[in-house]
Amino acid sequence: MNAQVHGAHLEVKGLTKRFGGLIAVKDVGFSVNGGEILGLIGPNGSGKSTVMKLIMGIERPDAGSVRIKGVEVAGWPSHRIARLGAGMVFQHSRPLHRQTVLENITLALLPDKLRRLFPDPENEARARAIAERVGLGHVLDRRPSTLPFADLRKMEIAKAIARDPQVVLVDEPFAGLTSRETAAFSQLVTDLRDDGRAVLLVDHNVKSVAALVDRVFAMYVGERIAEGTADEVMRNETVRRVYLGGSIETAARPESSFRDTTPFLEVKNLNVFYGKAQAVENVSIHVHQGEFVSVVGLNGAGKTTLFNAISGVLPYSGEIRREGKPLGGLTPAAIARGGIVQCPEGRELFGDMTVRENLDLGGQHVTREESEKRMQWLFDLFPILEQRQAQTAGTLSGGEQQMLTIARALMMNPALLILDEPTLGLAPVILEQLSKALERLRQTTPITVLLGEQNVTFALPHADRVYVLEHARIVWEGDPSRFAAEAGTGYL
What domains can be seen in the chain, in order of their start residue?
Answer: 5-244 (3.40.50.300), 255-491 (3.40.50.300)
Phi/psi at 218 (5° precision): -100, 135
pLDDT per residue over 310-369, tens digit each? 999 999 999 999 999 999 989 999 999 999 999 988 778 888 899 999 999 888 887 888
Q: Could you report the per-residue pLDDT of 237-282, keeping only the tens digit for each?
A: 888 777 655 555 667 788 878 888 899 999 999 999 988 788 899 9
Distances (CA, A) of 205 to 51, 222, 307, 392, 454: 17, 17, 21, 37, 11
pTM, two decimal places? 0.62
Band (pLDDT 50/70/90 cuts) for residue 110 is low
Q: What is the pLDDT of residues 165-193, one digit of tens each?
A: 999 999 887 766 666 777 788 888 898 89
The mean predicted confidence, pLDDT, of the chain is 86
Q: What tens digit of pLDDT does each residue of 290-313 get?
A: 999 999 987 778 899 999 999 999
